[in-house]
Amino acid sequence: MKKITVLGSINMDIVMKVEEMPLKGETISVQDVLHIGGGKGANQAVAASRAGGKTNFIGKVGKDEDGSTLCSLLKEDNIDISHVKVDEQYATGRAFIMVNRNGENSIMVHSGANMTIEDKDVADAQAVIRESDFVVSQFEVPVHAIEEAFKYAKEHHVCTILNPAPAIAKLDSPLLAHTDIIIPNETEAASLTGVIVDSEASMLEAAKRFVEMGVRYVIITLGSKGAFYYSADSEFGFVSAFKVKAVDTTAAGDTFIGALASQLNVVEGKITNMEEAILFANKASSITVQGEGAQPSIPHKQQIDAVM
């Protein structure tokens, strides 16, 4: 069983079901409103735990009902929340998600307490970091905190996984030098490398730029097409996605990352089962998009194993 520590965001997702996305200045009717556990960090932790990983979480919530509810949901998924702290000033993060009839979404996030994570919070969790196989993070928490966690992880030979989402145009930080595996989508890869990712040649170019920045492995997720991977040893390949009818794509990428972390094998700093782990993660994502909401749609290992 892989030991996975996630440093990340915890949000209450307010999901609005609509027929079509509104145009600029347009008022539309909402068919249904749901309150669901979310946040990229929490989603990834849930995905890792349900896929068989032993998962710890580092994060912050507000002193409010949303925070209490979300922490309870994490505990129900056997996630250790000993290092989820309560901020006295800021509210728990919220995401406002519109989902249309084709399962496509549009998301607005109010970070709240997520952005109050400090270096001290990471320092308080050093014991669980050094005992982990993987430390995972995303850009819904302060970059300086991620850097602190990754730097400490690398000092103790713990593999680091960065999901650079939401996309940022410039990263003024040595974070990538402490990143073993980076997992962007096409937009996020383009934002950080300046390479428009629209072909195998451009994927290779973007991946090589990440390696020049210090990353050892690059996995570019391509939605319904699958995922492309590249290593500093110039090994690369493509793993196709499973063809399904999407109901809601929320948390598909988060499911991929959590499920992947639960399966990767690292021997002396080298991943030995990249394609198999990506295939497993693709299976998990294909199940997630067939359900509604973020965490409720994330599958358990037996569901993933059952996918042919």
13 is in an annotated binding site: yes
237 is in an annotated binding site: no
Q: Is 254 a catalytic residue?
A: yes
Query: What is the spatial distance between Cα 281 and Cα 146, in angstroms, rounded to a whole number?
Result: 23
52 is in an annotated binding site: no
78 is in an annotated binding site: no
Catalytic residue, from 66, 172, 254, 305: name it.
254
226 is in an annotated binding site: yes
155 is in an annotated binding site: no
249 is in an annotated binding site: no
Residue tagged 């699958």 (tokens):
226
Tell me which residue of 171, 184, 159, 166 sits closest to 257, measured CA to CA: 184
The sign one gets for the Cα dihedral 250, 252, 257, 260 is positive
23 is in an annotated binding site: no
273 is in an annotated binding site: no
3-class DSSP state of 265: coil
291 is in an annotated binding site: yes
HSE at residue 282, side-chain half, CA atoms within 13 A, is: 25
Q: Which amino acid does the sequence have at 173?
A: S
Query: What is the spatial distance between Cα 173 and Cα 265, in angstroms, rounded to a whole number?
Result: 28
Question: Phi and psi at residue 236, in whole multiples of 5°?
Answer: -150, 165
CB 294 within 8 A of CB 43: yes
67 is in an annotated binding site: no
Rg (CA), the chain: 18
- DSSP secondary structure letter of residue 290: T
Buried b (16+ CB within 10 A) or exposed e, 210-245: bbebebbbbbbbbeeebbbbbbbeeebeebebbeee
Q: Which H or E run contains 36?
A: strand 32-38
225 is in an annotated binding site: yes
269 is in an annotated binding site: no
221 is in an annotated binding site: yes
- The residues pairing with 135 across neighbouring beta strands, listed in sequence order, are 5, 160
285 is in an annotated binding site: no
55 is in an annotated binding site: no
95 is in an annotated binding site: no
Question: Phi and psi at residue 198, in whole multiples of 5°?
Answer: -145, 10
CA angle centred on 117, ends 112 and 118, rounded to 5°? 145
Binding region for K(+): 248, 250, 288, 291, 293, 297
Kindly list the catalytic residues: 254
Binding region: 11-13, 39-43, 140, 185, 221-226, 248, 250, 253-254, 282, 288, 291, 293, 297
Binding region for ATP: 185, 221-226, 253-254, 282
Binding region for substrate: 11-13, 39-43, 140, 254
